[in-house]
Amino acid sequence: MTKIAEDYNADLKEHLARKPGEILESVAGQYGLSLFATIRHLPAEMWKVVPGAEALNILADVASWGDVTTIIHTEDVIFEFKGPFPEGKSGRGYYNLIGSGTPEMSGHLSMQNCQHVVFLERPFMGRPSAAIIFFNARGAAMFKIFVGRDEARELKRDQLERFEQWKNRK
Protein backbone atom coordinates (compact mmCIF):
# COMPACT_ATOMS: atom_id res chain seq x y z
CA MET A 1 0.00 0.00 0.00
CA THR A 2 1.35 3.44 -0.88
CA LYS A 3 1.91 6.17 1.70
CA ILE A 4 -1.00 8.16 0.21
CA ALA A 5 -3.33 5.15 0.51
CA GLU A 6 -2.16 4.51 4.08
CA ASP A 7 -2.80 8.15 5.02
CA TYR A 8 -6.21 8.04 3.31
CA ASN A 9 -7.23 4.87 5.16
CA ALA A 10 -5.91 6.25 8.44
CA ASP A 11 -7.87 9.47 7.90
CA LEU A 12 -11.09 7.56 7.25
CA LYS A 13 -10.52 5.29 10.29
CA GLU A 14 -9.90 8.33 12.47
CA HIS A 15 -12.98 10.09 11.05
CA LEU A 16 -15.20 7.09 11.80
CA ALA A 17 -13.68 6.58 15.26
CA ARG A 18 -14.62 10.20 16.09
CA LYS A 19 -18.04 10.08 14.41
CA PRO A 20 -19.24 6.46 14.20
CA GLY A 21 -22.89 7.55 14.07
CA GLU A 22 -22.71 9.45 10.79
CA ILE A 23 -24.78 8.30 7.83
CA LEU A 24 -22.33 5.81 6.37
CA GLU A 25 -23.56 6.23 2.80
CA SER A 26 -22.58 9.91 3.02
CA VAL A 27 -19.14 9.06 4.40
CA ALA A 28 -18.68 6.46 1.64
CA GLY A 29 -19.50 9.13 -0.96
CA GLN A 30 -17.05 11.61 0.59
CA TYR A 31 -14.25 9.06 0.44
CA GLY A 32 -15.22 7.52 -2.90
CA LEU A 33 -15.68 4.05 -1.43
CA SER A 34 -18.44 1.49 -1.36
CA LEU A 35 -20.54 1.21 1.78
CA PHE A 36 -18.97 -2.20 2.46
CA ALA A 37 -15.42 -0.78 2.27
CA THR A 38 -16.44 2.14 4.48
CA ILE A 39 -17.87 -0.12 7.18
CA ARG A 40 -14.59 -2.04 7.24
CA HIS A 41 -12.93 1.21 8.41
CA LEU A 42 -15.15 1.40 11.52
CA PRO A 43 -13.65 0.11 14.77
CA ALA A 44 -13.47 -3.69 14.45
CA GLU A 45 -15.66 -4.34 17.50
CA MET A 46 -18.61 -2.69 15.72
CA TRP A 47 -18.96 -5.11 12.82
CA LYS A 48 -18.58 -8.67 11.63
CA VAL A 49 -18.75 -10.01 8.08
CA VAL A 50 -20.29 -13.39 7.28
CA PRO A 51 -20.50 -15.02 3.85
CA GLY A 52 -23.46 -14.20 1.66
CA ALA A 53 -24.17 -17.94 1.52
CA GLU A 54 -25.69 -17.51 5.02
CA ALA A 55 -28.18 -14.86 3.84
CA LEU A 56 -31.20 -17.13 3.35
CA ASN A 57 -30.68 -18.78 6.74
CA ILE A 58 -30.46 -15.36 8.37
CA LEU A 59 -33.62 -14.15 6.61
CA ALA A 60 -35.53 -17.27 7.63
CA ASP A 61 -34.61 -16.62 11.25
CA VAL A 62 -35.35 -12.88 11.14
CA ALA A 63 -38.87 -13.69 9.86
CA SER A 64 -39.63 -14.97 13.38
CA TRP A 65 -38.29 -11.93 15.27
CA GLY A 66 -41.38 -9.75 15.17
CA ASP A 67 -41.31 -6.07 14.24
CA VAL A 68 -38.03 -4.84 12.78
CA THR A 69 -37.15 -1.93 10.51
CA THR A 70 -36.17 -2.79 6.95
CA ILE A 71 -34.40 -0.03 5.03
CA ILE A 72 -33.46 0.35 1.39
CA HIS A 73 -31.11 3.31 0.99
CA THR A 74 -30.16 4.44 -2.51
CA GLU A 75 -28.64 7.67 -3.76
CA ASP A 76 -32.13 9.09 -4.21
CA VAL A 77 -34.32 7.58 -1.50
CA ILE A 78 -34.36 6.04 1.95
CA PHE A 79 -37.31 3.67 2.16
CA GLU A 80 -38.25 2.31 5.61
CA PHE A 81 -40.68 -0.42 6.50
CA LYS A 82 -41.54 -1.10 10.14
CA GLY A 83 -43.13 -4.45 10.80
CA PRO A 84 -42.27 -8.13 10.63
CA PHE A 85 -39.87 -9.25 7.92
CA PRO A 86 -41.87 -11.80 5.91
CA GLU A 87 -41.06 -15.42 5.36
CA GLY A 88 -40.01 -16.31 1.85
CA LYS A 89 -39.27 -19.11 -0.55
CA SER A 90 -36.88 -19.48 -3.45
CA GLY A 91 -38.22 -19.66 -6.98
CA ARG A 92 -37.43 -18.40 -10.48
CA GLY A 93 -34.07 -17.03 -9.36
CA TYR A 94 -35.45 -14.94 -6.49
CA TYR A 95 -36.16 -15.22 -2.81
CA ASN A 96 -39.85 -14.34 -2.89
CA LEU A 97 -41.20 -12.62 0.19
CA ILE A 98 -44.62 -13.81 1.21
CA GLY A 99 -46.39 -10.83 2.76
CA SER A 100 -48.79 -12.03 5.42
CA GLY A 101 -49.00 -9.33 8.03
CA THR A 102 -50.44 -5.91 8.60
CA PRO A 103 -48.69 -3.91 7.42
CA GLU A 104 -47.59 -6.22 4.66
CA MET A 105 -44.24 -6.26 2.93
CA SER A 106 -43.67 -8.37 -0.15
CA GLY A 107 -41.12 -8.43 -2.93
CA HIS A 108 -38.53 -10.45 -4.76
CA LEU A 109 -34.91 -10.52 -3.63
CA SER A 110 -32.07 -11.59 -5.89
CA MET A 111 -30.20 -13.23 -3.03
CA GLN A 112 -27.75 -15.03 -5.31
CA ASN A 113 -26.20 -11.56 -5.66
CA CYS A 114 -25.54 -11.35 -1.92
CA GLN A 115 -21.80 -11.67 -1.38
CA HIS A 116 -21.51 -10.57 2.25
CA VAL A 117 -23.71 -9.98 5.27
CA VAL A 118 -22.51 -7.52 7.89
CA PHE A 119 -23.72 -7.45 11.47
CA LEU A 120 -23.20 -3.84 12.54
CA GLU A 121 -23.56 -2.36 16.01
CA ARG A 122 -22.89 1.34 16.41
CA PRO A 123 -24.37 4.51 17.81
CA PHE A 124 -26.82 6.33 15.56
CA MET A 125 -28.58 9.58 16.47
CA GLY A 126 -27.31 9.19 20.02
CA ARG A 127 -28.68 5.68 20.55
CA PRO A 128 -27.29 2.19 20.11
CA SER A 129 -28.32 0.51 16.85
CA ALA A 130 -27.91 -3.00 15.47
CA ALA A 131 -28.33 -3.78 11.77
CA ILE A 132 -27.92 -6.71 9.43
CA ILE A 133 -26.79 -5.41 6.05
CA PHE A 134 -26.85 -7.54 2.89
CA PHE A 135 -24.20 -6.57 0.30
CA ASN A 136 -23.78 -7.29 -3.39
CA ALA A 137 -20.43 -7.86 -5.14
CA ARG A 138 -19.91 -4.11 -5.71
CA GLY A 139 -20.06 -3.49 -1.97
CA ALA A 140 -23.44 -1.76 -2.20
CA ALA A 141 -26.13 -2.49 0.35
CA MET A 142 -29.00 -4.49 -1.08
CA PHE A 143 -31.06 -3.74 2.05
CA LYS A 144 -30.72 -3.48 5.82
CA ILE A 145 -32.70 -4.98 8.67
CA PHE A 146 -32.51 -3.17 12.01
CA VAL A 147 -33.27 -4.70 15.39
CA GLY A 148 -36.58 -3.28 16.55
CA ARG A 149 -37.17 -0.92 19.47
CA ASP A 150 -39.54 -1.20 22.40
CA GLU A 151 -41.87 1.48 23.77
CA ALA A 152 -38.94 3.16 25.57
CA ARG A 153 -37.01 3.29 22.24
CA GLU A 154 -34.51 0.71 23.51
CA LEU A 155 -33.37 -2.19 21.34
CA LYS A 156 -35.59 -5.22 21.86
CA ARG A 157 -33.59 -7.57 24.08
CA ASP A 158 -34.84 -10.80 22.50
CA GLN A 159 -33.99 -9.59 18.98
CA LEU A 160 -30.62 -8.27 20.10
CA GLU A 161 -29.80 -11.68 21.61
CA ARG A 162 -30.61 -13.42 18.32
CA PHE A 163 -28.62 -10.78 16.42
CA GLU A 164 -25.65 -11.48 18.72
CA GLN A 165 -26.01 -15.24 18.20
CA TRP A 166 -25.65 -14.75 14.44
CA LYS A 167 -22.87 -12.21 14.84
CA ASN A 168 -20.86 -14.47 17.14
CA ARG A 169 -21.29 -17.72 15.16
CA LYS A 170 -18.06 -19.38 14.17
Answer with the residue of higher pLDDT: 41 or 4: 41
Rounded average pLDDT over 101-116: 87
pLDDT tops 90 at residue 126? no
Domains with residue ranges and CATH for the chain = 42-167 (3.40.1570.10)
Half-sphere exposure of 18 (CA within 13 A, CB side): 7
Q: State pLDDT tens for residues 23-44.
A: 999 999 999 999 999 999 999 9
Q: How confident is the model at residue 102 (pLDDT cuts 50, 70, 90)?
A: low
pTM of the model: 0.91
Percent of the chain with pLDDT strictly greater than 90: 76
